[in-house]
Amino acid sequence: MCSSDLPSAAGGLVTFTAAQAEEGKATYTRNCADCHGSTLDNGEFGGAPLRGSWFRNKWGNGSVASLYAFTKAKMPPDRPGALSDKVYADLVAYILSVNGYKPGDRELPTDPAAQQPLTLKRD
């Protein structure tokens, strides 16, 4: 990978806290596990896998903003957009943590403009 492919110092790296991911896990269990499963890829009701190769192929070249926007616009299917911006950010943080992204010292922002430079691309 060449240096121009690295995330910029001004942003680029996914950021969320371990506590935020834990909050997201609790919300996931209440709102998402029936469709997506307890392991994020074994749901009873046909929810798309949220981990592993399917997740990497679907979201791995995008930004956090696109994942967040999709989640907020479409989930839960019976009441999309019903959760708060903070709860959607917590859910995304949890999904990212399960997919091997490492927590840091700043929460995942709820502002789409702040999320846009946060890339899901991996080395």
DSSP letters for 47-106: PPP-SHHHHHHHHTTSBHHHHHHHHHHH-STTSTT-S-HHHHHHHHHHHHHHTTPPP-SS
Between 2 and 20, residue with greater pLDDT: 20
Contact status, residue 68 vs residue 88, Cβ threshold 8 Å: yes
Please report, as a single letter, which amino acid is at residue 93: A
Answer whether residue 3 shows pLDDT above 90: no
Contact status, residue 35 vs residue 77, Cβ threshold 8 Å: yes
Q: Write out pLDDT tens, residues 88-119.
A: 999 999 999 999 999 999 999 999 999 999 99
Per-residue confidence at 1, pLDDT binned at 50, 70, 90?
very low
pLDDT attached to residue 27: 96
Contact status, residue 112 vs residue 69, Cβ threshold 8 Å: yes
Among 51, 53, 65, smallest CA distance to 12 is for 65
